[in-house]
Amino acid sequence: MTADNHRAGTREWLGLAILALPTLLLSIDVSVLHLAVPHITTSLEPSASEMLWIIDIYGFLLAASLVTMGTLGDRVGRRKLLLIGAAAFGVLSLAAAWADGPILLIAARAALGIAAATLMPSTLALISNMFRDAKERGVAIAVWVTMFSVGIALGPVVGGALLELFWWGSVFLIAVPVMALLLVAGPVLLPEHRDEQAGRLDLVSVVLSLLAILPIVYGLKEIAREGGAVIPVLAIVVGLIAAVAFVHRQRTLTNPVLDVGLFRQRAFVATLATMLVAMLVAGGTYLFVTQYLQLVDGQSPLRAGLWLLPAAFALIVTSIAAPMAVSRFAPSTVVCAGLLLSAVGHAMLALVPASGGLTLLVIAFALVYGGGGPLIALGTDLVVGSVLPEQAGSAAAISETSTELGMALGVATLGSVGTAIYRGQLTLPEGLPADATDSARDTLAGALASVEGLAGPAGEALAASARDAFTDGLNVIGLISALVSVALAVLFATNTRSRPATESASVVEDAKEIVKADAG
């Protein structure tokens, strides 16, 4: 059968537009939540630890569930799983929007993470089945990937406008009409696909993967916040034991959830580590930049979103330019150049002052995001190219998981570091009431809320000290992230082979393997 017999028709291209919706939504969801942090803090009064859990529990469970949901999709059908996940995501978004306390919001976000894990692998799998022609499949996957960058650009503006007009819960309601459209159009435009020979889903492996990730992250967060207490250390030990048990079980299963043999490849591990840590510093930095714009510089949510647009556009430009650059340079060279550009941006964030730092912050953050574009665009391709062809699918699935986990870990680790510095640098005026003292020590938003109940110099002193302390946290995070970015560039350059661009592995050409990878 010739390639022309595989050309996509109108139904397939309309189906691609439908599949782009959840991809766009998930990237918007990440950015709008960060903008809503000050409003959630004021309304629900979560502790600093609870606020971090509200933000990152979604990413933890998303990352932990991706490969599992891929395997489940092959068994029950990709379209069926996509539609079930879309319905669940819409309902859970309503629950999150009207949560009346931190614990309920954390629970809703956790369930949203599991629901989101059904969307990402299903969309890529269906794209691969709908577009059999290699060139058309390349265009379709490029659109799918670009939607992440577009969502990051739209998220701050859409979220800022909603927060200007409505309450914080409105940022979760964006998902409802999107998922409703997917549920209506999906059965008409999307084909069903399942692997009749898919391996059995091992529930023990699923449980072990969750027990490996969540306790370790909890322990790291609590150690960064309170020091080496017994419970956080025990949590890390439990997580490590579960991780060892998970790896051992994968080696004994006929159809493992994760092919741990991939980690014997040096270049694969180096690329994967680079993607995870790069997303870690990006996630932690984004959290502090959005709060600086609103709470330190005094921008409204909408204006804060507009000030984030240069960074989002820089990400889009470099994401598009990176694949073109590999026609002249090795992919490793392009990625390392981007990491060094990000390092410059992080170093500039280390110099941002508490007063008058808006311009420097915007330029610095644009460099941070612009430098990350090549890694986002080429990362999966480089991971796939680091292993044998028959392992390419599993490698691509793991790279997707590392990206999500890295973003969540960034909020947990760098967020905890920044909070610890804030508390260490904060100076409280004498005579401050006990409840105001606790609130001020917890978060910057809490300190500014306490100021409203104080009159005269005491209130002004507290506000100035809190803003200075928060900016100190941002500066330290910028310095740490700059050093980490340089170290990543060195690690990546010394552990990945410099292949000519024409010999680079192609994610598009290996689309079938990618689908299998997402299926576990």
456 torsion bin: left (phi>0), alpha (psi -120 to 50), beta (else): left
Whether the per-residue pLDDT at 500 is higher than 50: the answer is no
Nearest-angstrom CA–CA distance, 111 and 94:
12
Nearest-angstrom CA–CA distance, 467 and 21:
38
For range 258-266, the mean pLDDT: 75
The token duo for 163 is 């927060």
Count CA within 13 A, CB hemisphere, residue 386: 30
Nearest-angstrom CA–CA distance, 34 and 42:
14
The token duo for 463 is 């506000």
**Sorting pLDDT into bands at 50, 70 and 90, what band is 518?**
very low
Whether the per-residue pLDDT at 506 is higher than 70: the answer is no
The token duo for 343 is 């390092």
**Sorting pLDDT into bands at 50, 70 and 90, what band is 478?**
very high
CB of 354 within 8 A of CB of 468?
Answer: yes
pLDDT at 53: 81
Nearest-angstrom CA–CA distance, 206 and 481:
32
Query: Which is more confident, 228 or 92?
Result: 92
Whether the per-residue pLDDT at 308 is higher than 50: the answer is yes
Buried b (16+ CB within 10 A) or exposed e, 436-450: beebbbbbbbbbbbb
Nearest-angstrom CA–CA distance, 217 and 236:
8
pLDDT above 70 coverage of the chain, percent: 82
Q: What pTM was computed for the model?
A: 0.74
Q: Over the stretch 452-472, which tens digit does the pLDDT of each residue have?
A: 766 667 778 888 888 999 999
Residue with tokens 């994760």: 258
Q: How far is CA 358 from CA 255, 437, 469, in A?
A: 53, 29, 17
The token duo for 294 is 């609103």
For range 235-245, the mean pLDDT: 91
Which stretch, 71-80, 127-136, 213-222, 276-285, has highest mean pLDDT? 276-285
pLDDT above 90 coverage of the chain, percent: 16
Q: How far is CA 442 from CA 51, 225, 466, in A?
A: 10, 11, 11
CB of 445 within 8 A of CB of 315?
Answer: no
Residue with tokens 């959830």: 257
Nearest-angstrom CA–CA distance, 221 and 416:
6
Nearest-angstrom CA–CA distance, 381 and 366:
24
**Sorting pLDDT into bands at 50, 70 and 90, what band is 61?**
confident
pLDDT at 480: 94
**Sorting pLDDT into bands at 50, 70 and 90, what band is 395?**
low
Helix ranges (H only) for 9-47 are 10-44
Buried b (16+ CB within 10 A) or exposed e, 462-499: bbebbbbbbbbbbbbbbebbbebbbebbebbeebbeeb
371: CB partners within 8 A, 6+ apart: 318, 338, 339, 340, 341, 342, 343, 344, 345, 485
31 torsion bin: left (phi>0), alpha (psi -120 to 50), beta (else): alpha
**Sorting pLDDT into bands at 50, 70 and 90, what band is 380?**
low
Q: How far is CA 450 from CA 430, 455, 493, in A?
A: 14, 10, 49
Q: Over the stretch 79-115, which tens digit does the pLDDT of each residue have?
A: 888 899 999 999 999 999 998 888 999 999 999 988 9
pLDDT at 95: 92
Mean pLDDT in the chain? 79
Q: Over the stretch 135-160, which tens digit does the pLDDT of each residue have?
A: 666 567 667 767 776 777 677 778 87
Give the number of other Cβ atoms within 10 Å of residue 10's Cβ.
Answer: 8
Nearest-angstrom CA–CA distance, 265 and 267:
6
114 torsion bin: left (phi>0), alpha (psi -120 to 50), beta (else): alpha
220: CB partners within 8 A, 6+ apart: 232, 236, 409, 412, 413, 416
Q: Over the stretch 424-433, which tens digit does the pLDDT of each residue have?
A: 888 887 767 7
